[in-house]
């Protein structure tokens, strides 16, 4: 059997608790199961148990067999000297600490169906293991789990922002600029877009922000897309301007061959995205401060819906004319930028400032955005999950990626209900 199921049974107190005795026959009462330790060392910290008349405080180690204690060499490991109780499925030997003290042991007794349900669950080959059972889980539990998953996802996204802040002397506008650029890469070119932003400090771009032509010259030049400019008048003009600015600021462009066009729709070509990014830089200053002051969906849509320069109305690439079409950022692109950049950044800022109201506002932005449409979201909907906004879709994407795919059902609140629902119903 898997040791993780014993951890789970201990953590959620799913074991028989009346009339407990240690394997030596002493009465034992579990006062506090302790806190699960995800790092090295004993499995649960700061537990409290009463054995006989004595209350002990310390750590708990859990194994399938008592002899696993020796197999893992805990008997010679001083970090296990704090263990007050060894919890096992079967006690096949006595065990001792490195200091020679014998450790009390408890054999866990629990309903057989927990283990059977768990085995059935993780061996299920459906799209997700609990696909057939999730409909039985009360929606109130799913809702509260969704809230936790959503926060977990946003916090994970803030890790990259924390790194950007460190690289940018804790300057929020600069970190936002790089993060926004990365999101403009829309997966395929996100890394290259980030490299572009890092190669061109916001302080330099800011000096020319009132002149869209110069902003484009700097961005396309640093993107390495102005090196072969012989066929197109506009591209040649940008290249000329860039040559001057490059030498003025001592800039070094990135490798233009890093940009990927393969399998991209023309609207997603990096040239179009760079032109749109240039338009945003040109049309507003102190973007991050403005967003923090007014994290409102309508305002954000307005802020990001800016028109690229005239040339791009008839181009997707330099030198190739196309039918005239506005290259304003579309709604779904703006939604993606808000989900991936604005919400994590505002949340990260609010967390650092201890501003819970702003944190809440950041998350609530997702409720105003339609759910993403992709095969994962459709599959969740097909098994009855209600997904009506990006708040829901982001939570369910997190659940699939971080829990279902690795079968971490024991750490999932839906999994907890699926494994114990029969037990609860039986009690009622």
- Give dist(CA 393, CA 342) in Å, integer: 17
Q: Which residues contact 194 (CB under 8 A, 6 or more apart)?
A: 178, 181, 182, 185
The closest of 13, 143, 134 to 404, measured between CA atoms, is 134
- Give dist(CA 258, CA 371) in Å, integer: 31
Q: For 165, how many CA atoms within 13 A lie in the half-sphere containing its CB?
A: 12
215/418 with CB nearer ligand SF4? 418
- Give dist(CA 181, CA 83) in Å, integer: 50
Residue 150 as a binder of ligand SF4 (CB under 6 A): the answer is no
Relative orientation angle of helices 172-184 and 270-283, to the nearest 10 degrees? 150
Q: Minimum Å distance from CB 11 to ligand SF4?
A: 16
Q: Which residues contact 144 (CB under 8 A, 6 or more apart)?
A: 413
Q: Count interface residues toward ligand SF4 (CB under 6 A).
A: 12
371/418 with CB nearer ligand SF4? 418
- Give dist(CA 380, CA 299) in Å, integer: 31
48/408 with CB nearer ligand SF4? 408
x/- binding map, residues 368-407, to ligand SF4, per CB under 6 A?
-------------------------------x---xx---
Q: Minimum Å distance from CB 408 to ligand SF4?
A: 6
Options 77-85, 102-110, 365-373, 413-421: segment touching ligand SF4 (CB under 6 A): 413-421
The closest of 324, 373, 350 to 381, measured between CA atoms, is 373
Q: Minimum Å distance from CB 1 to ligand SF4?
A: 18
Residue 229 as a binder of ligand SF4 (CB under 6 A): the answer is no
Question: What are the CA-CA distances from residue 173 to residues 292, 301, 387 (Å)?
Answer: 11, 19, 33
Q: Which two tokens stand for residue 54?
A: 């004595």
Q: Which one of 130, 200, 202, 218 is in contact with ligand SF4 (CB under 6 A)?
A: 130
153/282 with CB nearer ligand SF4? 153
Options 170-178, 319-327, 334-342, 408-416: segment touching ligand SF4 (CB under 6 A): 408-416
Options 46-54, 59-67, 368-376, 412-420: segment touching ligand SF4 (CB under 6 A): 412-420
Residue 412 as a binder of ligand SF4 (CB under 6 A): the answer is yes
> What one-character DSSP code corresponds to residue 84?
E
Q: Minimum Å distance from CB 137 to ligand SF4?
A: 9
Q: Which one of 408, 420, 421, 423 is in contact with ligand SF4 (CB under 6 A)?
A: 408
Q: Minimum Å distance from CB 405 to ligand SF4?
A: 8
Q: Minimum Å distance from CB 379 to ligand SF4?
A: 12
Characterize the bridge pairing of strands 83-90 and 105-107: parallel
x/- binding map, residues 70-109, to ligand SF4, per CB under 6 A?
----------------------------------------
Q: How many CB atoms are located within 10 Å of the residue 229 CB?
A: 21
Characterize the bridge pairing of strands 54-65 and 35-36: unpaired
Residue 409 as a binder of ligand SF4 (CB under 6 A): the answer is yes
Residue 129 as a binder of ligand SF4 (CB under 6 A): the answer is yes
Q: Minimum Å distance from CB 123 to ligand SF4?
A: 12
Options 128-136, 314-322, 339-347, 380-388: segment touching ligand SF4 (CB under 6 A): 128-136
Q: Minimum Å distance from CB 128 to ligand SF4?
A: 4
Q: Which one of 128, 205, 363, 377 is in contact with ligand SF4 (CB under 6 A)?
A: 128
Q: Minimum Å distance from CB 383 to ligand SF4?
A: 10
Q: CA torsion angle for 180, 183, 184, 187 (degrees, to 10)?
A: 160
- Give dist(CA 126, CA 293) in Å, integer: 46
Relative orientation angle of helices 270-283 and 212-222, to the nearest 10 degrees? 140
Q: For 197, how many CA atoms within 13 A lie in the half-sphere containing its CB?
A: 27
Residue 254 as a binder of ligand SF4 (CB under 6 A): the answer is no
268/398 with CB nearer ligand SF4? 398
76/148 with CB nearer ligand SF4? 148
- Give dist(CA 385, CA 153) in Å, integer: 19
Binding site for ligand SF4 (CB under 6 A): 128-130, 399, 403-404, 408-409, 412, 414-415, 418
């Amino acid at each position: 059997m898997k040791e993780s199921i014993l951890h789970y049974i201990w953590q959620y107190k799913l074991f028989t608790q009346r009339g407990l005795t240690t394997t030596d026959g002493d009465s034992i009462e579990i006062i506090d199961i302790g806190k699960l330790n995800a790092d090295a060392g004993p499995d649960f910290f700061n537990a409290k148990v009463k054995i006989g008349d004595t209350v002990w405080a310390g750590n708990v180690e859990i194994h399938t067999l008592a002899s696993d204690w020796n197999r893992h060499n805990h008997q010679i490991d001083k970090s296990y000297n704090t263990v007050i109780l060894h919890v096992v499925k079967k006690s096949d030997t006595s065990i001792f600490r490195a200091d020679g003290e014998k450790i009390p042991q408890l054999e866990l007794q629990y309903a057989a169906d927990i283990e059977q349900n768990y085995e059935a669950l993780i061996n299920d080959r459906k799209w997700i293991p609990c696909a057939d059972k999730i409909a039985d889980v009360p929606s109130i539990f799913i809702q509260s789990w969704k809230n936790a998953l959503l926060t977990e996802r946003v916090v994970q996204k803030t890790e990259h922002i924390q790194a950007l802040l460190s690289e940018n002397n804790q300057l929020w506008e600069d970190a936002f600029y790089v993060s926004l650029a990365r999101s403009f890469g829309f997966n395929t070119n996100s890394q290259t877009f980030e490299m572009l932003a890092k190669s061109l400090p916001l302080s330099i771009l800011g000096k020319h922000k009132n002149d869209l032509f110069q902003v484009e010259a700097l961005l396309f030049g640093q993107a390495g897309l102005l090196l072969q400019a012989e066929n197109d008048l506009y591209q040649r003009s940008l290249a000329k301007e860039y040559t001057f600015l490059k030498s003025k600021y001592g800039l070094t462009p990135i490798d233009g061959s890093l940009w990927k066009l393969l399998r991209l729709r023309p609207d997603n070509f990096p040239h179009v995205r760079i032109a749109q990014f240039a338009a945003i830089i040109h049309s507003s200053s102190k973007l991050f401060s403005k967003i923090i002051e007014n994290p409102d969906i309508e305002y954000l849509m307005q802020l990001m819906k800016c028109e690229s320069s005239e040339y791009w109305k008839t181009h997707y690439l330099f030198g190739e004319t196309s039918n005239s079409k506005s290259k304003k950022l579309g709604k779904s692109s703006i939604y993606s930028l808000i989900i991936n950049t604005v919400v994590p950044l505002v949340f990260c800022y609010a967390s650092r400032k201890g501003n819970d109201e702003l944190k809440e506002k950041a998350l609530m932005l997702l409720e105003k955005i339609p759910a993403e449409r992709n095969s994962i979201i459709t599959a969740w909907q097909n098994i009855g999950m209600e997904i009506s906004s990006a708040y829901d879709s982001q939570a369910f994407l997190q659940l699939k990626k971080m829990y279902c795919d690795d079968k971490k059902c024991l750490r999932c609140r839906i999994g907890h209900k699926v494994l114990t629902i029969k037990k609860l119903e039986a009690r009622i």
